[in-house]
Chain A
Amino acid sequence: MTPVFPFAAIVGQEEMKRALLIAAVDPRIGGVMVFGDRGTGKSTAVRALSQLLPPIRAVAGCPFNCMPDRSTCPVPCGRKRGRATAEVRPVPFVDLPLGATEDRVVGSLDLEAALTTGEKRFEPGLLARAHRGFLYVDEVNLLEDHIVDLLLDVAVSGTCIVEREGLSVRHPARFQLIGSGNPEEGELRPQLLDRFALSVEVRTPTDINERIEIVRRRDAFEHDPQKFVEDWRRADAAVARSVARGRRRLDSIAVPDEVLALGARLCSELGADGLRGELTLMRASRAAAALGRTDEVTSHHVAEVAPMALRHRLRRNPLDETGSGARIARALEMLLAA
């Protein structure tokens, strides 16, 4: 296995790392959209996170990442003598490449089987492999329209339905969609943008010392990856523990009424469309509280996650470029002072 750059060793990019951890604690929150220039460590961070998370239990050899105690697999997998053998595997991390064709994404007829034995078998696509894991789409704003439609469909329903080439298959596909892209190169359709729960902006670091540190660590990693991973193992493990703790505590965190009211007032003040903003705000604040040591959500947690949850939901007019970050900060200040 090629060693992966450790999550804890990533320099800077605090907002992005925080958003990813929040999404990891509560997968129901939804995906994360990372806006930013090339070469800012976006895919490194997501890949590192997927390595960090506790491995999942799945049926041995099942390409759909089926859970051992459920029988939702479209292809009977590993059911030898009526029992499915379970195995432990790392959280799936799937890259959706820029030129992906529909049949690679959704799955298609298994050609080797069809041509050699004449069997009609379904070859799972990228969505099947991403089930219970992360689907990372780089340059999501350049994605083909019909692939975007497909992703939206599956993201909403959680099921991938394939009806083509004589196949009729339906399999679960619940994954965290992490998208990255540079808005300078094209606009993201509003339906897809809305599908992302949280959004963050990353910029190339300008502080020269930070840049030197990034290069230093990258160089050390390339020089001796095993040693580097070993050196950061403890820090990484601490992050993994905090995520695991967060997941355990999530259901016991209380959301007081004042905090709910704050969230609602904030969204209405900013004119965020629909209710998804408030729901995301509440879920994300709870996840943020779970990552810490408190037992209930406070206005601080709301203030922390508000930019991530709301900055991409505020544009009234596609040409409106007024900085949403500033608007959110002002609104928060006003509401918290009151």
Chain B
Amino acid sequence: MKEAAVAAAEQRWSDALAAARLLATLPFGIGGARVRARPGPARDAFMEALLGGLQAGTPVVRIPAGADVDRLVGGLDLAATLGAGRPLISTGLLARASGGVLVLPMAERLEPAAAALVATALERNEVADRLGRPHRAQFLLIALDEGEGEEAIAPVLAERLAVHLELEGLRPRPQLLQEPGCPVDREAGLAALADLSEALGIGSVRALVLALATARALADGAQLPLAEGDLALAARLVLVPRAWRWPDAEDQPDETPRPPQSPESSDAPGPEAADLAELLVEAARALLPPDLTVAEPKAGSRYAAGAGRGGGRAHAAPRRGRPVGVRAAVPRAGQRLALVETLKAAAPWQALRQREHPRPGRFQVRRQDMRVHRLKRPAQSTTIFLVDASGSAALARLGEAKGAVELLLARAYVRRDEVALVAFRGAAAELLLPPTRSLARARRALADLPGGGGTPIARALELAGDLALGCRARGRTPTLVLLSDCRANVARADGLDAMEDAEAAARALQLAGIASILIDTAPRPRAEGPRLARAMGARHVPLPRVEAERVVAAVANGQ
């Protein structure tokens, strides 16, 4: 087993170097690469291989942290213009990178508007600046994704980058020799890639387009006709990282009727499409992580993209929203200059300034005159439901809890709030529904809620706490609603008393200042409920027979 893992790691590193070489030839058609790794020797070695392989004079532009739409797009630089008294245009970063490489570190923190902009530029090869003028912007994007766990680069960007590399944990080592293999006809290659992406459960057609483009770029880069090795490498770089399931052993690649081969290809020597597909499947199998489970692809996890961990993205002032007044400040990233207020502030000083520094015909603006717009977003809340699905809660109460969540969802729909659902039973707590306003998903998650098992309250509180802090980092107000009979019998670690562990987790929540409500569903009044509520700092609402409307009323009064 260990040898297999080592061999897989060697292959992955070797592939990464091959990808670096490919990217250095600037194949714009494949969009670029997403490199998931923390800063370290592996990532450095990869970037060195890439940047070192570029031709002299190729533009390489790095997007600084916190860059916003204005810097990317370019246009009139307001603050500088006011200072100098004549229009100063700044070239956007995207236009500056045209014909070369755009490097994006901390890609997971790029704000959604900027990500959408870069994705559009990748597709159209041009970008319109603030003044509406189009500029050519054809570049290769290298997105360095430093996210951990759920945090990841915005999907709209990730899907346009052909190559996805996972360098975490790899050590730089000498590259393996790749055998080119037999030349392959393009139609057969396309059919084989299509079969493979089907076997791996990849729905997106764009992935298939990019895989083919990558294979061709590999062949063109070596100035050789398309060969098996190119297809296999393209499959490993583009399709395998997007896999959702294991290729089925029983699935025969040539089950579906193959369209007739075009006449020109019949005389080209090469393997049959079926053999090729099998070859690719084998290559993919070697690289798939052993714990890849059969699961439905998570449609756009909004919670993940861009959510900072801990104190990450705390914005003192929101960047979007309704303008409500101005305040004195020099405009920085994301802040918009309030031109009229600035000019109004500077107007009374003109006579004095002209006398001191005569500049005929120029309107003199100083730093203290500058005003920026203040934006306000309506406070939006997220309600996190923690539902005790263990054996101690009766099946009926589970049904009522679900009913309550549905009613609250309907209410949240009107108020534009979000709802999340965490269920706990057995030894674990599970996030069944990440914060969402999407009723389609809420419905589905609720329908699948299973019941039975132990009551791991501590773990549930811990999970809910993490979730709440994440919501807060995104600027939303979290509220926790725990529905349980509070009879904890599973602790987070062996040897701990379950109830004490639960209270410890509860106290952590109170320290974090997360508003909560405990809906006690114990059939008879017990001491555990109020004790846990006190530890959480929560309002204790005893509801021996849970009824959906009363839960809703309790939450409504509490908010």
Contacts and interface: CB of A to CB of B under 8 A. Distances in A.
B437 A144 contact: no
Contact of A111 (B69, B76, B195): B76
A184 B124 contact: no
Interface stretch (A52-60, A155-163, A202-210): A202-210
Interface stretch (A94-102, A247-255, A295-303): A94-102
A97 B114 CA distance: 10
Contacts of B439: 187, 318-319, 321
B339 interface: yes
Nearest to B113: A99
B162 to A, nearest CB: 12
A140 B118 CA distance: 18
A292 interface: no
Interface in A170-193: 182-187
A319 B437 contact: no
Contacts of B443: 319, 321
Interface in B527-553: none
B206 interface: yes
B212 A109 contact: no
Interface of B: 29, 69, 76, 78, 81-82, 86-87, 111-114, 116-117, 120, 124-126, 131, 155-156, 159, 190-191, 194-195, 198, 203-206, 208-209, 212-213, 256-257, 259, 299-300, 302, 320-323, 336, 339-340, 363, 378, 406, 409-410, 413, 416, 436-443
A319 B194 contact: no
A270 B300 CA distance: 32
A114 interface: yes
Interface string A94-124: 0101111110000001011011101000000
Contacts of A114: 339
A225 to B, nearest CB: 11
Contact of B299 (A184, A208, A211): A184
A167 to B, nearest CB: 10
Contact of A165 (B82, B340, B363, B437): B340
A166 interface: yes
30 contacts: A2-B124, A2-B125, A97-B113, A99-B113, A101-B336, A102-B323, A111-B76, A111-B78, A112-B131, A114-B339, A115-B87, A139-B116, A165-B340, A182-B300, A184-B300, A184-B438, A184-B440, A186-B302, A186-B438, A209-B257, A209-B259, A211-B194, A211-B205, A211-B208, A212-B190, A212-B191, A215-B194, A215-B209, A216-B190, A321-B443
Contact of A204 (B205, B300, B410): B205
A151 B417 CA distance: 22
A114 B340 CA distance: 10
A80 interface: no
Nearest to A222: B29
B474 to A, nearest CB: 14
Given A39-B159, A101-B320, A112-B87, 13 more contacts: A98-B116, A99-B112, A99-B114, A99-B116, A111-B76, A115-B76, A142-B112, A184-B299, A187-B437, A211-B194, A212-B259, A219-B190, A219-B213
A139 to B, nearest CB: 8
B409 A222 contact: no
Contacts of B406: 319
A194 interface: no
Contacts of A115: 76, 81-82, 86-87
Contacts of A2: 124-126
A187 to B, nearest CB: 6
B265 to A, nearest CB: 13
A38 B410 contact: no
A73 interface: no
A145 B417 CA distance: 13
Among A98, A101, A204, find the residue whose CB has the most chain B CB atoms closer than 10 A: A98
Contact of A215 (B113, B212, B300, B413): B212
A331 interface: no
Contacts of B131: 112
B120 A95 contact: yes
A315 B131 CA distance: 43
A276 interface: no
A146 interface: yes
Contact of B198 (A118, A144, A208, A215): A208
A146 B339 contact: no
* Nearest 8 A/B pairs, CB to CB: A99-B113, A184-B299, A98-B116, A39-B206, A185-B300, A204-B203, A39-B204, A318-B413
A233 interface: no
A273 interface: no
A205 B197 CA distance: 13
A144 B78 contact: no
A208 B213 contact: no
A212 B208 CA distance: 9
A146 B321 contact: yes
A323 to B, nearest CB: 12
A109 B337 CA distance: 12
Contact of A97 (B116, B191, B441): B116
B339 A116 contact: no
Contacts of B126: 2
A305 B156 CA distance: 32
A138 B205 CA distance: 19
Given A185-B438, A208-B194, A38 B259 contact: no
A164 to B, nearest CB: 9
Nearest to B86: A116
B299 A111 contact: no
B124 A109 contact: no
A18 interface: no
Nearest to B197: A211
B212 A185 contact: no
Given A111-B76, A214-B205, A218-B209, A185 B302 contact: yes
A317 interface: yes
Contacts of A304: none
B113 A98 contact: yes
A183 B112 CA distance: 18
B438 A319 contact: no
A232 B16 CA distance: 39
Contacts of B69: 99
Interface string A29-45: 00000000111100000
